[in-house]
A and B are shown apart, each in its own frame.
Chain A
Amino acid sequence: MTEKLEPVVTEWRRVSPKYVVVDLVGTLVFGVVAVAATSLPAVFSHNGYLFAIPAALAVVFLVALILVPRRVRSIGYQLRQDDLLFRRGLMFQRFVSVPYGRMQLVDINRGPLDRAVGLSELRFVTAAAATGVAIPGLVAADAEELRDQLVALAESRRAGL
């Protein structure tokens, strides 16, 4: 394996380790539902070969579950001079840089699992739908602080579209 992509050499701000729990439970629930749904045809048709589909899915989700802690550790962000840099992914690495002046709004989302462990997700919206930057697993107070900070930054560097 050759070296990983690393556009900037700095310390990344990581998300809360508690997010591992949220992601684990979320993946598990999704996996169970998906496996159950895909095994329905096999159950009703009494065709044993059809069980191959849910079995394959189960393996995929199992691998995904094992990788969850590392995947969560791979999520990082950092506030630079002029933009917010966001990264995520292990196998499929993705880096996005969003200039502060481009942020149109900042959302805070809290799902039921997030609320249970006191986390929030911060989502940035620019004029481009493809930007799609969401930082999950922030401690609720941090998320609000970060939001206010980002909104202030965006306001001070406001540019047109």
Chain B
Amino acid sequence: MSSGAPRAAEPISTGFRLADGQWHRLHPATPLLRGGIAFVAIVGIVLVNLRDVLIQLVLGGPDFGGDPVQWIVDNGFAASALGVVVLGLLLFTTGFYVSWRMHTFRITDELVEVRSGVLFRTNRRGRLDRIQGVNITRPLLARVFGAAKLEVNVAGHDANVQLSYLGSAAADELRREILLLASGTQSAAGAGAAPALAGQSAGDRARVIIEQRTREFFAPELDPDAAPPESVVQMHLGRLIGSIVLSGFTVVILIVIAAVIVAVSITHEFFFLFTFVPGIIGMGSYYVSKFTRSVRYSIAATPDGVRVGYGLLSTSNETLPPGRIHAVQARQPLLWRPAGWWEVTINRAATSRSSGSERQAQTTILPVGNLADARKVLELVLPGIHAESGELLDRGLTSKGGDDGFVNSPPRAVLLRWFSWRRNGFATSGDLVLLRRGFVRRELVIVPLPRVQSLELRQGPLLRRLRLASVRLHTVSGPVDAYLGALDTADATRFFGETGDAAVRAAAADTSHRWRTSSAAAAAQPPVPGTAAAR
């Protein structure tokens, strides 16, 4: 429908800066992409049905009766019905248009702000120095239109400022500028790479647009920045498939299949086979979604943090500025041990509204990789790792335990940690706390001290009898739990006291909320907030 079709000359590249403190509108195809599709589909279905009636009216044919449209035509309401339809369409179109007109955003030096709604106005602001990540997602349909969704994650549950949709290149440009503004370098170098479209003939322009669209579609992660980040980890197809097949989910599936086979062979009731059909469909979709999400995984370092890319058809590309990662966990399930694969997940302050698999994608920073990959990713997300702590890291990942720089559980903890008591321990290195646990399923949790929210020391009756205690570092919620049980009471108490003091010191010295000022502030006067943003 005409409601939101993109006009030919919509701004694909931004000759002007979007982050200039002025109000801007979104991509013109926005209403269409945000649910207008359903409306179009309904209209399409109605039209297809109407076609039969029209053919019948003109050419004549058998009258089936019972059709409401037929009834309207037969009773002479055709004209008024058509009027109602046209009026409805008109209302819808204006509605979409007005909502698009009213949906504006602006980015100042201090905040990003979105106004939307026609009858019920909403206004959402996010402070730039509280940004937890900038995410560009391109659903399949949006990619066809050359549009992208830019999400600015601010700390808090579902506290995202969403700009959906923007032109693809504009989104990349805007991300660069937002990160630049948030980083503390106030003089955002305005001139981005903006191919000038003006002064070309209409034909040329169309060709340029088509070329650009094609390029965007096939290489959506390409960044206009000077140095496009190179992924430090390559996802191997075989490894990805292997990791998905060798998951706990597969084990459950195999057990269920075995149970069904046994049930059928005992009872000779083939009815049981049919109960498994929905299971197979669900299983297939689980595997396929996991595969398509991770197959084009990439991770790279940029000046403004780690950039993680995901997705084959619908892509997402997230930038996590430094100091936004609250806890990291490297995990190796038993089934992955022979192949030596690891998975890395993180805790972060911003959680999106999306749940399930998408949420998992936001917190899984390495779906599968070998030891070298895991190390590279850990070094990338934790800038505090040096050579000496690198060795500690290796031991934390693979060591069987013993006297290797970690303070481990005492032998009497064998009652509670049957296999892992030699390995169950903690170590500190610079601003990082490493918690190592698990023998069957190896886990290493690393928490940067400046991100620790509070500490806990616990002891129940059983632990007290064994002179043991457990500690936990509280971080923002996520898949990583920085918990270590069955430590010697004295060790645990010492850990509680020392880590508490170190966390306070580290938090006071931390400047990562304005990550670029830390290097620049020494030379220049720190920028005065609030002067530039005044309106």
Interface of A with B (CB < 8 Å)? 1-2, 4-8, 82-83, 91-99, 101-102, 126-131, 133, 157, 159-161
Contact = CB atoms under 8 A, between A and B. Distances in A.
A41 to B, nearest CB: 32
Interface stretch (B261-269, B434-442, B471-479): B471-479
Contact of B508 (A8, A129, A157, A161): A157
B336 interface: no
24 contacts: A1-B464, A2-B467, A5-B469, A7-B496, A8-B497, A83-B504, A93-B457, A93-B459, A94-B456, A96-B455, A96-B457, A97-B454, A97-B456, A99-B452, A99-B454, A99-B500, A126-B453, A128-B477, A130-B474, A130-B477, A160-B129, A160-B323, A161-B476, A161-B513
B302 to A, nearest CB: 20
Contact of A97 (B323, B326, B455, B508): B455
Interface of B: 129-130, 132, 155, 323, 326, 349, 450-461, 464-465, 467, 469, 472, 474-477, 489, 493, 496-497, 500-501, 503-504, 507-508, 510, 512-513
B464 A159 contact: no
A8 B349 CA distance: 31
Nearest to B499: A97
Contacts of A102: 453-454, 507
Contact of B497 (A7, A92, A94): A7
A159 B508 contact: yes
B457 A5 contact: yes
Contacts, number: 107
Tell me if A's interface is mostly helix, strand, loop or mixed.
loop
A5 B464 contact: yes
Nearest to A80: B500
Q: Which of A8, A96, A157, A160 has the most CB of B within 10 A?
A: A160
Nearest to B323: A160
Contacts of B129: 160
A150 B497 CA distance: 21
Contacts of B475: 128
A19 B323 CA distance: 42
Contact of B459 (A5, A97, A99, A131): A5
Contacts of B453: 98, 102, 126-128, 131
Given A91-B461, A99-B452, 18 more contacts: A2-B467, A5-B457, A5-B469, A7-B497, A91-B460, A93-B459, A98-B454, A101-B504, A102-B454, A102-B507, A127-B453, A128-B474, A128-B475, A130-B456, A131-B454, A159-B450, A159-B508, A161-B326
Nearest to A93: B459
Contacts of B508: 101, 157, 159
A97 B474 CA distance: 10
B9 to A, nearest CB: 43
Contact of A92 (B460, B496, B501, B504): B460
Contact of A5 (B132, B326, B477, B489): B489
Nearest to B455: A97
A57 to B, nearest CB: 21
B502 to A, nearest CB: 11
A133 B455 CA distance: 11
Nearest to B350: A161
A95 B456 contact: yes
B469 A129 contact: no
B476 A127 contact: yes
A154 B451 CA distance: 16
A160 B510 contact: yes
Contacts of A82: 501, 504
A160 B512 contact: yes
Contacts of B504: 82-83, 99, 101
B349 A161 contact: yes
Given A5-B464, A101-B507, A95 B454 contact: no
Contacts of B513: 160-161
Contacts of A93: 457-460, 464
Contacts of A95: 456-458, 496
